[in-house]
Amino acid sequence: MSELLKGFCLHGREKISPWNGRDVTRNTSIVDLEIPQLKEGEILAKTLYTGICGSDNSAALGKANFDWVERPRIIGHEFSAEILELGPGDHGDLKVGDIFTPLAMLGCRDVNCHACRIGKWNLCPRKQIIGFHRNGGFGQQVVLESDRVVTLMEGLSPEQGALVEPLSIIVNALNNKCDIKPGQDIVVTGCGIIGLMAAELARAAGGRVLVTGISRDRDVRLKKAAERGFMTAEVSPENTLTEQLQQGITDSRGVPFGVEGKVDLLIECSGVAAVLTEAIDVVRPEGDICVIATYPTEVPVNATQLTRTSLNMRGSMGSCREDYMIAQKLMVTGIFPSEHYVNRYKFENVKQAFEEAIKAKNIKAVVEMN
Ligand SMILES: [Zn+2]
Ligand SMILES: [Zn+2]
């Protein structure tokens, strides 16, 4: 049976521009999947739904911040799966048939590791990301450590299970790095799924939210943001966010957004260096900037301006088990309405799913794996 299993594999390192028209998924291919022998503490699972992350796209485009990913690699760290087999060792309460999503980041669990001692595997310097350090959720089956299994909460569908990881990233950022207060004006820069999830949760926390994008986001992602009732701004080097805020933006009721062109909080989800550089100019003194994205280049930051405005600029890396539990609750209760954001693909169309994700033609691509 196993010879029929397939996986979506990253193998190339070519630097690819997403806009030059040629096959943008040429660093990847569909391969036959080999399932290794289960080692101590490992399980075998059948993948159900796997989401495409912006980082998967970056790796597929050969971006420098993903040079460290070994090739060939079956990618995919946002997925739900069903346990088929428990390998040797102790697996706690887990049993065959359980449906789960994995913690994307597994810490080294060394007693001398500060991050692991406090249960924050996302901050472990030796963390292992499934789908980057070992084969992941774009295989029709996957072998993984049972320590990273998070059994799905009752009421959560396997499709929603694939969204737990990205939503947990926002939960971590908003709970620990943003300090949102009701009535605040918040800009989310970038309208990929991380930006749109941030917008939903920031609004749920009482903020009024503006989402930014660029011209290629106009027809799908910014449109979705507007449909969901967010203010939107299409930005470009000729028409920056700073200029638009200074000229004055009002919400649908005509209430001005921000004060004198400044907002309370900016959540950076675009991964574009110039956007983070500009962030310092659009946040009020003692306001907050929360950085969720990573960047393929160095980012120039006006540190003197940072001091003079007493801004808080904080990074937020990944998420841990606690964030996964909250993310699941947010979907089960409908506080994050996942049904508005998923574009579902069959596994045979996985290349198309990646191509459309890379070209910003979908919102959140989720692939039905079997
Ligand atoms: Zn991701
Ligand atoms: Zn560690």
Structure tokens at 150: 């998070």
The whole-number pLDDT of residue 182 equals 97
Instruction: Identify the segments of the chain with pLDDT beneath 70.
Output: 1-3
Q: SS3 of 34, please?
A: coil
32 φ, ψ to 5°?
-70, 140
Output the average pLDDT for the chain: 96
Q: Which ligand is nearest to the CA of 168?
A: 1
Q: Which residues contact 15 (CB under 8 A, 6 or more apart)?
A: 61, 62, 63
Separation of CA 107 and ligand 2 centre (Å): 5
Residue 277 belongs to domain with CATH number: 3.40.50.720
Structure tokens at 11: 């193998």
Separation of CA 82 and ligand 2 centre (Å): 27
**Number of domains observed in the structure of the chain:** 2
The whole-number pLDDT of residue 1 equals 46
Residues 148 and 184 in one domain: no
Q: Which residues contact 324 (CB under 8 A, 6 or more apart)?
A: 101, 103, 150, 164, 165, 168
Instruction: Answer whether 162's CB lies under 8 Å from 365's CB.
Output: no
Residue 24 belongs to domain with CATH number: 3.90.180.10
Separation of CA 285 and ligand 1 centre (Å): 32
Separation of CA 106 and ligand 2 centre (Å): 8
Structural domain contains residue 78: yes
Residues 8 and 132 in one domain: yes
3 Cα distance to chain centroid: 32
Residue (of 112, 126, 136, 113) closest to 50 by Cα position: 136
Residues 12 and 159 in one domain: yes
Residues 30 and 177 in one domain: no
Structural domain contains residue 335: no
Q: Bridge partners of 326?
A: none
Separation of CA 166 and ligand 1 centre (Å): 6
pTM: 0.96
The whole-number pLDDT of residue 22 equals 82
* Gap between the Cα atoms of 263 and 285, Å rounded: 9
Separation of CA 172 and ligand 2 centre (Å): 18
Neighbours of ion ligand 1 (CB under 5 A): 53, 55
Burial class (CB within 10 angstroms; exposed 0-12, middle 13-18, buried 19+) of 258: buried
Q: How many residues does the chain have?
A: 370
* Token pair 């399932």 in the structure block, residue: 35
Residue (of 172, 177, 194, 167) closest to 294 by Cα position: 194
Q: SS3 of 228, please?
A: coil
Separation of CA 240 and ligand 1 centre (Å): 28
Separation of CA 176 and ligand 2 centre (Å): 20
Write the pLDDT tens digit of every residue in 75-120: 999 999 999 999 999 999 999 999 999 999 999 999 999 999 999 9
The whole-number pLDDT of residue 3 equals 55
Residues 137 and 222 in one domain: no
* Gap between the Cα atoms of 207 and 42, Å rounded: 43
